[in-house]
């Protein structure tokens, strides 16, 4: 009867091993099976020796301790993966893959102090004509235009911090001197022209650029405010063109 009870218990343990091993790595799975074998051998050895050699309690205790350690380690790994995934979801814009608004706010805090002694170039970018695309072709096409614009921006500013800060708004923080900033601005215009020659969708961006050397005091937030101001000036010029006049296109 005792042996039968042990067999039932061991079957339950084996089934638990099987379920537990589905959530762990291949290496940990093999270790778990080895622990099960040790427990089995300990019980069998004790029964075969007519309980002269007491091994079952020790082997089961050791087995359970190791299993608990593996389980704890697996939970920690799972927690780390969950935290990493959650952090990615928070810091990454779901539509474009650029940095999210949350990431942008963190960047502003990182450069919150005076940055006159740093070589930083900031860009404020707004996608022109998104409302017209949404009204004419639907929001799915508008989302595609945002994604394509984000790809061009990312390709242009590789190595820089790129963010989608709103529906059709982007912010870039690049490290470099003003001359390097102007080179990137020229590259962006060239990349847009190249894209528009090949694609059915047409990208038009209003861009404002500002260098840390231009800011008398303050951090990145003040620098971005200057870039925003220049971007809105470009936006006004865009809509002053009769072809883009919003009032005529209503």
- Sign of the C-alpha dihedral computed for residues 91, 93, 98 and 102 taken in this order: negative
pLDDT of residue 247: 45
**Quick check: pTM over 0.85?**
no
* 1, burial (CB in 10 Å: exposed 0-12, middle 13-18, buried 19+): exposed
Buried b (16+ CB within 10 A) or exposed e, 148-162: bbbbbbbebbeebbb
Residue 99 in 3-state DSSP? strand
For the chain, how far is it from start to end, CA to CA, in angstroms? 88
Instruction: State the CB neighbour count (10 A cutoff) for residue 186.
Output: 11
Separation between Cα atoms, residue 163 and residue 189, nearest integer Å? 18
Residue 32: which of 66, 74, 80 has the closest Cα?
A: 66
Q: Digits of tens for pLDDT over the chain (250 positions)?
A: 666 766 776 677 667 666 665 656 666 666 666 666 766 676 677 667 665 555 555 556 666 666 666 666 666 666 666 666 666 568 899 899 999 999 999 999 888 888 888 899 999 999 998 888 888 888 899 999 999 999 999 999 999 999 999 889 999 999 999 999 999 999 999 999 999 999 988 999 999 999 998 988 889 999 999 999 999 999 998 888 777 655 444 4
Alpha-helix runs per DSSP H in 157-219: 178-198
Q: How far apart are CA 152 and CA 205, in angstroms?
A: 11
Q: Residue 195, Cα to own-chain centre: how many angstroms?
A: 26
Nearest to 150 by CA among 183, 174, 125: 125
In sequence order, the β-bridge partners of residue 120 are: 175
Q: What is the predicted pLDDT for the residue at 91?
A: 85
Q: For residues 217 and 228, is the Cβ–Cβ distance under 8 A?
A: no
């Amino acid at each position: 009867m005792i042996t039968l009870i042990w067999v039932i218990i061991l079957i339950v343990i084996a089934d638990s091993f099987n379920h537990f091993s589905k959530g762990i790595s291949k290496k940990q799975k093999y270790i778990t099976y080895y622990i099960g074998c040790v427990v089995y051998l300990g019980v069998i050895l004790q029964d075969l020796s007519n309980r002269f050699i007491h091994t079952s309690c020790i082997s089961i205790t050791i087995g359970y301790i190791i299993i608990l350690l593996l389980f704890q380690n697996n939970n920690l790994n799972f927690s780390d993966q969950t935290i990493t995934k959650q952090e990615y979801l928070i810091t990454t814009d779901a539509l474009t893959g650029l940095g999210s608004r949350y990431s942008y706010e963190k960047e502003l805090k990182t450069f919150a102090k005076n940055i006159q002694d740093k070589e930083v170039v900031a860009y404020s970018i707004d996608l022109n004509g998104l409302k017209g695309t949404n009204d004419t072709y639907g929001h799915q096409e508008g989302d595609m235009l945002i994604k394509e614009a984000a790809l061009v921006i990312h390709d242009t500013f590789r190595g820089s911090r790129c963010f989608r800060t709103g529906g059709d708004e982007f912010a870039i923080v690049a490290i470099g001197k003003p001359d390097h900033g102007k080179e990137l601005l020229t590259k962006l215009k060239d990349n847009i022209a190249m894209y528009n020659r090949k694609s059915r969708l047409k990208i038009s961006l209003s861009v404002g650029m500002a260098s840390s050397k231009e800011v008398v005091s303050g951090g990145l937030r003040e620098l971005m405010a200057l870039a925003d101001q220049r971007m809105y000036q470009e936006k006004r010029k865009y809509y002053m063109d009769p072809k883009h006049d919003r009032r005529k296109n209503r």
